[in-house]
Amino acid sequence: MRNRSQLGVLMTTRMVQSTGLRMIYPFLAVFARSLGVGVPALALLLSVRSGLGILSPLLGAASDRLPRRFALIVGLVVFSLANLAVGFFPTYGVLFAGLCLSYLAMIFFYSTAQAYLGDVIAFARRGQALALQELGWGLSLVIGVPLVGLLITRFGLRGPFFALALAGLILTIVLFRVIPNLPLTTASRVRSGFGNLRQAFAAPSARAILAMMVCFGAINEWLMIVFGLWMESSFALQVAALGASAAVIGAAEIGGEMAGGAGLVDRLGKKRAIRLGLGLNIAALLVMPWVGGVLWGALAALFFYYMGFEFAFVSTLPLASEVTPSARATLMGALVAAVSIGRVVSASLSPLIFTTWGFEANTYGALLLTVTALLFLRFVKVEEKGSVPAKSSAK
């Protein structure tokens, strides 16, 4: 991008919103105790929140009908207000409503941001830009979640929600200044929201990549939702240490995102990069049962698992952005729905498998999901249009 500040504010917003999405997982027991509810009640909240992702195609279709900057601001303001409400009224009911509303706002913002980058960046170099924007996802665990642990320790449950609201409002002002107010395309003006939905789902490649993203959602959540319980029960980690262990996963995700940000996705080709990432994911899963008995082995296996997964995920985004260019935000929103469906499956099954058979059984489930994702990739047909030469700049 010519204006790197645009990518910087989109990446930072991705980090802030992802922190709000992910901060419950490592502190599941802490949130339950603070609210006076059981862990199953919070698991239900997470399952319902993930289920709301099925609305993302409608949110993406709405985004395609609005100017990009206006849609980005709407998503960020709603996110901030939802977190502000939880900060003032930290009860289970308000938390339930606030997390769900902030999640919908995040989906709306996320699909719009990806569509905006797809609008202004050529496909041959789009992998780098989308990977750098996605870097905020990994930073949320390296920076955001450890800060949440400190805020909870210092200010209680209110602390992180007030911080997220303040950060969101500051980013709204910055975004208004750096993102240009681009006009709607002629196709977006003419076609209705349902027309965008039909366009997004018409291509066989779109359906294949959506099926693959269902697997991706399940892969990501499958271990994430139980790793905090696993670490606490197996290694007796306390709140600060749980935040640090989450940072290890965040560092792994940053590794995958930085590989994409360095242009590796564009140079390898998107599909080849996806296969490479999922191959590393499979290797980590195969050794995880053997090295997971000690803390360093467990953290190392999780590191490579999430680094491979994140590289595959950021490689998929530019591939998906070229499947239906005239309904780009709609399809990118549909990807969120697909990921959400996978997360709902994981939120329902993974804790049950963990409590019944132990963490090793969870690794076998993740392995099956990864192989299935590779099979769906075979049916995604998008012309790569060449790769970026090794010495060329992606900026």
Domains and CATH numbers, the chain: 4-181+191-377 (1.20.1250.20)
Provide the pLDDT for residue 192: 45
Q: How many CB atoms lie within 10 A of CB 351?
A: 20
Q: pTM above 0.85?
A: no
Provide the pLDDT for residue 197: 64
Spatial distance between the Cα atoms of 380 and 386, rounded to a whole number of angstroms: 17
- The tokens describing 137, both together, are 């996802």
Torsion over CA: 197, 200, 204, 205 (sign)? negative
Contact 75, 116 (CB under 8 A): no
Q: Which of 30-44, 76-90, 155-169 has the lowest mean pLDDT?
A: 30-44
Return the SS3 of 91. Answer: coil
Spatial distance between the Cα atoms of 153 and 338, rounded to a whole number of angstroms: 35
Confidence label for 391 from pLDDT (cuts 50, 70 and 90):
very low
Contact 75, 167 (CB under 8 A): no
155 has a pLDDT exceeding 80: yes
Spatial distance between the Cα atoms of 167 and 80, rounded to a whole number of angstroms: 8
* Per-residue DSSP letter, 258: H
Confidence label for 165 from pLDDT (cuts 50, 70 and 90):
very high
Return the SS3 of 1. Answer: coil
246 has a pLDDT exceeding 90: no
Q: How many CB atoms lie within 10 A of CB 290?
A: 10
Q: Give the residue-averaged pLDDT of 100-117.
A: 90
Q: Which is more confidently placed, 219 or 227?
A: 219
